[in-house]
A = this chain, B = another copy of it.
Amino acid sequence: MAKQKKQPRPKAETPKGFRDYFGAEVTERQEMLRQIAEVYDRYGFDPLETSAVETVEALGKFLPDVDRPNAGVFAFQEDGGSDDGTWLALRYDMTAPLARVAAQFRNDLPNPYRRYTMGPVWRNEKPGPGRFRQFYQCDADTVGAASVAADAEICAMLADTLEAVGIPRGDYIVRVNNRKVLNGVLEVAGLSGDDQEHERGIVLRAIDKLDKFGPDGVRLLLGEGRMDESGDFTKGAGLSEAQADTIMGFMDAKRDSGAETVARLRELVQGSDVGAKGVEELETIAELLAAQGYGPDRIVIDPSVVRGLGYYTGPVYEAELTFEITDEKGRPRQFGSVAGGGRYDDLVKRFTGQEVPATGVSIGVDRLLAALRAKGRIHGTRQGPVIVTVMDRDRMADYQAMASDLRAAGIRAEVYLGNPKNFGNQLKYADKRESPVAVIQGSDEKDRGVVQLKDLILGAKLAQDATLEEWKSQPAQTEVSRADLVQEVRAMMERHG
């Protein structure tokens, strides 16, 4: 006989940078997305689910994020590598597919087109701690509305959304700024030349780091550069004192009321048309929001918000959670940003040649979930099922009927389906499932028309506090009539709320 080559066993591993989600991780995210969709829907946004795969041509090969020019996509050729196969790629965000859809279906879609979408996106990046190559985004965008009323609406919707998922008012703030104001400030500072794009990039990134480095750090980045704690040096924009003063003045322009901030910004951009236009837009946004009752306790004009992405052209906005959490090193810090977005007017133009105004927000689903966990709004656990144990494997039909009765009454329930020989294993299983109640019926109980109910929640409490002897006497176990199974199980579950 020919020798058979033994194939090595494949490794059972989630690919590097990817992860699996179990149980409550799945349902809690689902529930949060459902709540968000409800708010988006009420604002007239329509759901859209694009394919996960786009042509590389439509997608553009790289992320439009100036901070990470090398960040890539997962790309592959259509029919396994023949030369004429189309190159396809997994979407890296929800905005690029929206631009494609808005161009492709422009004759059929309502105009303006408000849409929301939620789902995974993929990044071919080096994975790191807490940094995954597949993660959820949840976006809402308005395409085709030039009016900043569209931006204001999204800011209001974002505030409503945070409250709907369980972030109380006072624990979040939506900050609004306008790229045009920033452009005006750059113009006033003498930084609007075509040959100064490099400096402008550094300034933008420096402002974006205000939270992280503080005003002094940003000031260093605007000037010669900044050395971090590890000794690494980041080269700065090389601005003059006067130029840096102008920029710092902009970042510091926030006042107690929106009207005062707007007045201060107007001073700062004096002489710049684009700056004046930006200030006017911010003023309109502030007025629209005030008229709907969104005061500065929820939405504020804040010049320190710039948002990293290079494609923003007008208003930008960011939602921050303001309550404190304890970081990895045990220090208290603010939770920080969970959503952001802004106006981008050039993305659809790539396809059609026509400028289409658009504005939208993206919620960082995993960060918002983490925030809800930090607030104790969700707990990462869920009620396990009632376990009907198997004492006599020939009476499986009886046990299934019990589970069936419980389910018919809306109670999550299952029969133990492993090898029933070792009863201890059945209880260990119930424990692992976080089961509230185990149902037990041996032949003796069967003859007497009763079942034993074991209160596993009480049992667990006793196990913590009670002696072995007390535990063995099984005080958490009671005998009830088979006919009363459903109501007795329900009563036992309700006892623990």
Give me the interface of A with B, judged by CB distance under 8 Å: 9-16, 18-23, 25-27, 30, 34, 41-44, 46-55, 57-58, 60, 72, 74-76, 78-80, 86, 88, 90, 100-101, 103-105, 110-112, 114, 120, 122, 124, 133-134, 142, 144-147, 149-150, 152-153, 156, 284, 287-288, 290-293, 350-353, 385, 393, 396-398, 400-401, 404, 407, 410-415, 417-419, 429, 432-433
Are B18 and A291 in contact, with the CB atoms below 8 A? no
Min CB–CB distance A473 → chain B (angstroms): 27
A10 contacts across to B, CB distance below 8 A: 55, 57-58, 60, 350-351
CB–CB A54/B15 < 8 A: yes
Main secondary structure, interface of A, reads: mixed
Q: What are 17 A-B contacts with C-beta separation under 8 Å?
A: A10-B57, A10-B58, A10-B350, A12-B352, A15-B54, A18-B51, A18-B53, A22-B47, A25-B49, A30-B47, A42-B411, A44-B412, A80-B124, A111-B429, A145-B417, A145-B418, A292-B401
With both chains docked as a complex, state the minimum distance between the C-beta of A34 and any C-beta of chain B, in angstroms. 8
Complex-state Cα separation, A90 to B78, whole angstroms:
13
Please name all residues of chain B whose beta carbon is closer than 8 Å to the beta carbon of A147 when the two chains form the complex: 393, 396, 417
Contact among B49, B75, B149 with A417 in the assembled complex (CB-CB below 8 Å): B149
Which single member of B19, B124, B418 contacts A79 (CB below 8 Å)? B124
List the number of copies, as a whole number: 2
A4 to B390, CA, bound (A): 77
Which residues of chain B come closer than 8 Å to A23, judged between CB atoms? 46-48
Q: Which 5 A-B pairs have the closest CB atoms?
A: A44-B414, A291-B397, A18-B51, A12-B103, A44-B385
Tell me the bound Cα distance from A433 to B11 in angstroms. Answer: 51
Asked whether, in the complex, the Cβ of B16 is within 8 Å of the Cβ of A414, the reply is no
Q: Which of A27, A60, A287, A415 has the most CB of B within 10 A?
A: A415
A7 CA to B333 CA in the complex, in Å? 47
Separation in Å of the A407 CB from the closest CB of chain B? Answer: 5
| Contact flag A407-B43 (CB < 8 Å), given A19-B51, A74-B88, A291-B400 | yes
The docked-state distance in angstroms from the alpha carbon of A54 to that of B12 is: 10
Closest to A29 in B: B49
Interchain nearest-CB distance for A78 vs B (Å): 8
Q: Of B49, B60, B104, B153, which is within 8 A of A400 by CB? A: B153
Looking at the assembled complex, report how far the CB atom of A417 sits from the nearest CB atom of chain B, in whole angstroms: 4
- Of the candidates B9, B46, B104, B397, the one whose C-beta lies within 8 Å of that of A292 is B397
A404 proximity list for chain B (CB < 8 A): 156, 292-293
Residues of B within 8 A of A134 (CB): 51-53
A2, chain B: closest CB distance, angstroms: 13
* CA A13 to CA B51, docked complex, whole Å: 11
Query: A433's contact among B57, B76, B110, B353, by CB below 8 Å, is which?
Result: B110
